[in-house]
């Protein structure tokens, strides 16, 4: 007698797919996990997380002991499952359009093996019309009628990094099925979690996810543009934001900072490629993308001699998001490259990322400039301000667009941090 088909296959075991696969297995489903990264598969098979996610170390231990998750590098193995969830990368091409090559490649591998009754769920962020395209592609290539023989839906991932195990049970799960039956089958899959199921059309599900990210990307561009305006007019951006927000019911202006990451930085392009207001979202992107250059230009104006050549610059933070190890599309890397083009001696410290960086004291020692490039909680402590005051050069310039160090200035000097931290410089 043949064994029953696995409940679900998850293709792509990255930061979206792996926590989902583990959570499915933890709720009692039999799961096939597919990925082409041998090192990642090795870690998962050993019961170890290949990246940081709050609570996931304990989760993977439970799932590993249960035996409900099997891993493979072969996409075709996923065809054995009743439901197949695609959590693949969907980058934007240079010509402002979605890159669907990974999705199409997986579909082509699965085509000969798909059978009537299976459900295909697109979990990654996709451009409007992609879910209907996938349904039509399967009909055209295999003759499987969408909504009758093959069931296709979009169930967009909306969970923040580091909050998966909390938000998988609390954030409403949006499902856009190609036909009611596809929506119902996808809902049955995700009902193992406690979150509310919200049924809609495929294109509305696609637009909801894209515009949630666009809203955040735009929200953060406004204070970044204000920061640049304040530099132009000799004003303090943090004071102006306080004036805008203080006891004002229509305030709510965010703080400036590095705004990027693998989702926010690319997802606007999925709307821009067919936009009725071409250029609007590109302008938002240009604001956020210009922050590293703005900071480099500003610090050059303030540093003695106006040049960074042979000056030591300590960059604190490589991750794109607070307290994560995720460096994908981080503007901190752009900052480092710009500093290197100025012939600066760049030292980097980040306590979270996998990339090798220097210890904090080593990066700060005798630094002429310190740039806080990520708002990690580690940097928002008196200890970090004290370390800068004690180890960096006496006249070091401190660049802190996040205001992590509490100076209330984007560009400050080490003696100002000395007053904040209560630590006197201890240079020999």
Confidence of residue 428 (pLDDT cuts 50, 70, 90): very low
Q: Among 168, 134, 130, which residue's Cα sits nearest to residue 152?
A: 134
Average pLDDT over residues 393-403: 95
For residue 154, report the phi and psi dihedrals to the nearest 5 degrees: -110, 125
Using a pLDDT cut of 90, give the percent of the chain over it: 80
Does the pLDDT value for residue 268 go beyond 90? no
Handedness of CA 168, 169, 172, 173 (dihedral sign): positive
Q: What is the pTM of this model?
A: 0.88
Q: How many CB atoms neighbour CB 296 within 10 A? A: 22
Pairwise CA distance, residues 239 & 9, whole Å: 51
Domains parsed from the chain with CATH numbers: 8-200 (3.40.50.720), 290-421 (3.40.50.720)
Q: Is residue 195 within 8 Å of 170, Cβ to Cβ?
A: yes
Q: Among 83, 63, 53, which residue's Cα sits nearest to residue 23?
A: 63
Pairwise CA distance, residues 301 & 231, whole Å: 11
Does the pLDDT value for residue 422 go beyond 60? no
Instruction: Return the CA Rg of the chain.
Output: 24
The model's pLDDT over 300-311, given as tens digits with 9 standing for 90+, comes to: 999 988 899 999
Please report, to the nearest 10 degrees, the dihedral formed by the alpha carbons of residues 405, 408, 411, 416 taken in order: -70
Q: What is the chain's percent helix, strand, coil content, to nearest 5?
A: 45, 15, 45
Confidence of residue 418 (pLDDT cuts 50, 70, 90): low
Report how many helices (DSSP H) and strands (DSSP E) the chain contains, helices first: 17, 15
């Amino acid at each position: 007698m043949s064994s029953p088909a696995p409940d679900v296959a998850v293709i792509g075991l990255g930061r979206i797919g792996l926590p989902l696969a583990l959570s499915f297995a933890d709720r009692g489903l039999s799961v096939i996990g597919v990925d082409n990264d041998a090192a990642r598969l090795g870690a998962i098979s050993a019961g170890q997380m290949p990246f940081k996610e709050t609570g996931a170390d304990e989760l993977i231990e439970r799932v590993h002991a249960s035996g409900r998750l099997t891993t493979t590098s072969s996409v075709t193995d996923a065809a054995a499952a009743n439901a197949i969830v695609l959590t693949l990368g969907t980058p934007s091409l240079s010509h402002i359009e979605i890159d669907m090559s990974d999705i199409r490649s997986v579909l082509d591998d699965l085509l000969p093996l798909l059978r009537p009754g299976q459900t295909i769920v697109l979990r990654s962020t996709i451009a409007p019309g992609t879910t209907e395209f996938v349904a039509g592609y399967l009909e055209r290539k295999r003759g499987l009628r969408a909504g009758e023989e093959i069931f296709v839906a979009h169930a967009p991932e909306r969970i923040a990094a580091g909050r998966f195990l909390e938000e998988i049970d609390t954030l409403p799960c949006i499902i856009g099925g190609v036909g009611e039956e596809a929506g119902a089958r996808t809902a049955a899959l995700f009902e193992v979690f406690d979150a509310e199921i919200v049924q809609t059309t495929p294109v509305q599900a696609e637009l909801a996810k894209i515009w949630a990210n666009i809203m955040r990307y735009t929200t953060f561009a406004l204070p970044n543009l204000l920061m640049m305006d304040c530099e132009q007019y000799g004003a303090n951006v943090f004071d102006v934001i306080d004036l805008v927000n203080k006891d004002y019911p229509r305030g709510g202006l965010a703080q400036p900072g590095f705004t990027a990451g693998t989702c926010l930085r690319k997802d606007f392009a999925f709307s821009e490629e067919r936009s009725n207001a071409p250029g609007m979202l590109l302008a938002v992107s240009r604001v956020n993308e210009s922050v590293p250059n703005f900071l480099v230009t500003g610090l050059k104006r303030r540093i003695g001699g106006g040049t960074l050549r042979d000056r030591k610059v300590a960059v604190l933070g490589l991750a794109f998001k607070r307290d994560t190890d995720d460096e994908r599309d981080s503007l901190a890397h752009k900052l480092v490259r710009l500093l290197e083009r100025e012939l600066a001696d760049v030292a980097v410290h980040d306590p979270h990322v996998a990339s090798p960086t220097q210890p904090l004291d080593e990066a700060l020692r005798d630094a002429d400039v310190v740039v806080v490039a990520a708002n990690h909680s580690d940097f928002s402590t008196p200890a970090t301000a004290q370390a800068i005051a004690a180890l960096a050069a006496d006249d070091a310039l401190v660049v802190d667009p996040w205001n992590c160090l509490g100076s209330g200035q984007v560009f400050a000097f080490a003696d100002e941090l000395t007053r904040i931290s209560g630590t006197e410089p201890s240079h020999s």
